[in-house]
Amino acid sequence: MRHLQGWLGSGALAALGLLLSSGCEQAGRYSPKRTQPEAHVASPKAKSSQPSPEPAKTPEPPKTVPADFVWEPAKISKMEPEVPIEFVHQGHKPKEWEELKQFWTEVKTPTPGQPVSFIGLSPLHAAALALVSKPTYNRTIKVKVPLGLDDPKEYIPASNRPTLGKWELGKELFFDDSWLNPDGPTVFACASCHRPGTGFGERLAPRGDYLRAPTLLNTLYNSNLFWDGRANALEEVVQRTLEDERENPNVDPNRRHAWSGVVARLRADLKYSKRFEQVFGTPPTQDAIGKALATYMRTLLSGNSLYDRALRDSGGKPLEAAHFEKYLDEAALKAFERDGAKKADVAKELATGANLFRLQARCAQCHTGSNFTDNGFHNLGVGDSSLEPLPGREPGRFAALPVGIKDPTMIGAYKTPTLRSVPLNGTYFHDGFRNSLVDVVMYIVKGGTPNAHLDPKITNLNLKEPEVRALVLFLQALDGQVSDPIVSTPPKKEDKEQE
| Each residue's pLDDT tens digit, 13-22 | 444 444 434 4
> Is residue 16 a part of any domain in this protein?
yes
87 has a pLDDT exceeding 80: yes
> Is residue 491 a part of any domain in this protein?
no
Cβ pair 400, 447 in contact under 8 A: no
> Is residue 283 a part of any domain in this protein?
no
Q: Which of residues 56 and 357 earns the better pLDDT score?
A: 357
> Is residue 172 a part of any domain in this protein?
no
Angle at 212 between CA 206 and CA 218, to 5 degrees: 140
> Is residue 339 a part of any domain in this protein?
yes
Q: What is the pLDDT of residue 310?
A: 97
490 has a pLDDT exceeding 50: yes
Q: What is the pLDDT of residue 52?
A: 55
Q: Which of residues 247 and 305 earns the better pLDDT score?
A: 305
Residue 59: phi and psi, rounded to 5, are -60, 145
- For the segment 198-227, the average pLDDT, to the nearest whole number, is 86
> Is residue 363 a part of any domain in this protein?
yes
Q: What is the pLDDT of residue 22?
A: 42
> Is residue 295 a part of any domain in this protein?
no
> Which residue type is seen at 431?
D
| Each residue's pLDDT tens digit, 176-187 | 999 998 887 889
Q: What is the pLDDT of residue 79?
A: 95
Q: What is the pLDDT of residue 112?
A: 74
Residue 499 banded pLDDT, cuts 50, 70, 90: very low
Q: How far apart are CA 213 and CA 190, in angstroms?
A: 10
Residue 489 banded pLDDT, cuts 50, 70, 90: very high
Element (H, E) at 437: helix 437-445
Q: What is the pLDDT of residue 56?
A: 53
- CA distances (Å), origin 376, targets 10, 15, 181, 449, 452: 25, 11, 31, 19, 19
- For the segment 422-446, the average pLDDT, to the nearest whole number, is 89
Secondary structure E strands in 275-382: 377-378
Q: What is the pLDDT of residue 10?
A: 43
Cβ pair 134, 280 in contact under 8 A: no
> Is residue 354 a part of any domain in this protein?
yes
Residue 53 banded pLDDT, cuts 50, 70, 90: low
| Each residue's pLDDT tens digit, 278-321 | 999 999 999 999 999 999 999 999 999 999 999 999 998 999 99
- From 30-34, 215-219, 376-380, the region with the lowest mean pLDDT: 30-34
Q: What is the pLDDT of residue 18?
A: 44
Q: What is the pLDDT of residue 204?
A: 74
| Each residue's pLDDT tens digit, 339-374 | 999 999 999 999 999 999 999 999 999 999 999 999
Cβ pair 79, 278 in contact under 8 A: yes
Sequence-distant (6+) residues with CB within 8 A of 477 are 305, 306, 307, 310, 324, 336, 350, 353, 354
Q: What CATH number is associated with residue 380?
A: 1.10.760.10
DSSP code of residue 306: H
- From 62-66, 102-106, 142-146, 425-429, the region with the lowest mean pLDDT: 62-66
| Each residue's pLDDT tens digit, 58-75 | 444 457 899 999 999 999
Residue 343: which domain range? Answer: 2-26+302-476
Q: What is the pLDDT of residue 33?
A: 34
Cβ pair 439, 269 in contact under 8 A: no
29 has a pLDDT exceeding 60: no
Domain count, the chain: 1
Q: Which of residues 24 and 480 earns the better pLDDT score?
A: 480
Q: What is the pLDDT of residue 145?
A: 97
Sequence-distant (6+) residues with CB within 8 A of 326 are 313
Cβ pair 269, 179 in contact under 8 A: yes
| Each residue's pLDDT tens digit, 131-167 | 666 667 899 999 999 999 999 999 999 999 999 999 9
173 has a pLDDT exceeding 80: yes
Q: What is the pLDDT of residue 81?
A: 94
